Amino acid sequence: HLHANFFQVYPTGMTLTPTHQTDVITMGTTERHILEFAYKYPGKYMFHPHQDAIAEAGCMGVFEVISPT
Protein backbone atom coordinates (compact mmCIF):
# COMPACT_ATOMS: atom_id res chain seq x y z
CA HIS A 1 0.00 0.00 0.00
CA LEU A 2 1.34 3.39 -0.99
CA HIS A 3 0.20 6.32 1.15
CA ALA A 4 -1.11 9.65 -0.22
CA ASN A 5 -1.02 8.70 -3.89
CA PHE A 6 -2.09 6.30 -6.60
CA PHE A 7 0.20 4.44 -8.99
CA GLN A 8 0.03 2.98 -12.47
CA VAL A 9 0.50 -0.82 -12.62
CA TYR A 10 2.50 -2.49 -15.39
CA PRO A 11 1.94 -6.25 -14.83
CA THR A 12 5.12 -8.33 -14.74
CA GLY A 13 6.98 -5.42 -16.35
CA MET A 14 6.16 -6.83 -19.78
CA THR A 15 3.92 -4.09 -21.19
CA LEU A 16 4.37 -0.43 -22.05
CA THR A 17 0.77 0.34 -21.11
CA PRO A 18 -0.45 0.31 -17.50
CA THR A 19 -3.48 -1.89 -16.86
CA HIS A 20 -4.93 0.06 -13.96
CA GLN A 21 -4.39 2.72 -11.30
CA THR A 22 -4.61 1.98 -7.57
CA ASP A 23 -2.98 2.57 -4.18
CA VAL A 24 -3.01 -1.12 -3.15
CA ILE A 25 -1.89 -4.16 -5.12
CA THR A 26 -1.98 -7.84 -4.15
CA MET A 27 0.88 -9.96 -5.49
CA GLY A 28 2.02 -13.54 -5.05
CA THR A 29 5.41 -14.51 -3.64
CA THR A 30 7.23 -14.61 -6.98
CA GLU A 31 5.11 -12.03 -8.79
CA ARG A 32 6.70 -8.79 -9.99
CA HIS A 33 5.17 -5.59 -11.38
CA ILE A 34 6.43 -2.14 -12.24
CA LEU A 35 4.68 0.65 -10.34
CA GLU A 36 4.94 4.19 -11.66
CA PHE A 37 4.00 7.22 -9.57
CA ALA A 38 4.83 10.87 -8.98
CA TYR A 39 4.16 13.09 -5.99
CA LYS A 40 3.07 16.71 -6.24
CA TYR A 41 4.45 17.79 -2.87
CA PRO A 42 7.77 17.13 -1.10
CA GLY A 43 7.66 15.18 2.14
CA LYS A 44 7.97 11.74 3.69
CA TYR A 45 5.53 9.04 2.57
CA MET A 46 4.93 5.56 3.95
CA PHE A 47 4.57 2.24 2.16
CA HIS A 48 3.63 -1.10 3.75
CA PRO A 49 1.93 -4.46 3.16
CA HIS A 50 -1.51 -5.13 4.59
CA GLN A 51 -0.39 -8.47 6.03
CA ASP A 52 0.53 -7.78 9.66
CA ALA A 53 3.10 -10.58 9.95
CA ILE A 54 5.01 -9.30 6.91
CA ALA A 55 4.90 -5.68 8.10
CA GLU A 56 6.05 -6.66 11.59
CA ALA A 57 8.98 -8.53 10.04
CA GLY A 58 10.19 -5.22 8.63
CA CYS A 59 8.65 -5.01 5.17
CA MET A 60 7.56 -1.40 5.46
CA GLY A 61 9.22 1.94 5.18
CA VAL A 62 9.23 5.61 4.37
CA PHE A 63 10.66 7.38 1.34
CA GLU A 64 11.27 11.08 0.92
CA VAL A 65 10.09 13.12 -2.05
CA ILE A 66 12.31 16.14 -2.62
CA SER A 67 11.61 19.34 -4.52
CA PRO A 68 13.25 19.46 -7.97
CA THR A 69 14.57 22.97 -7.28
Q: Which amino acid is at 19?
A: T
Confidence band, pLDDT 50/70/90 cuts, at residue 3: confident
pTM here is 0.72
**Close Cβ partners of 52 (under 8 Å, ≥ 6 residues apart):** none
> What average pLDDT score do residues 13-35 get?
88
User: Which CATH code is given to the segment(s) 7-65?
Assistant: 2.60.40.420
Average pLDDT over residues 35-42: 92
Q: How much is the average pLDDT of 30-50?
A: 91
Mean pLDDT of the chain: 89
Q: Is the pLDDT of residue 51 over 90?
A: no
Per the CB < 8 A criterion, the answer to whether 27 and 11 are in contact is no
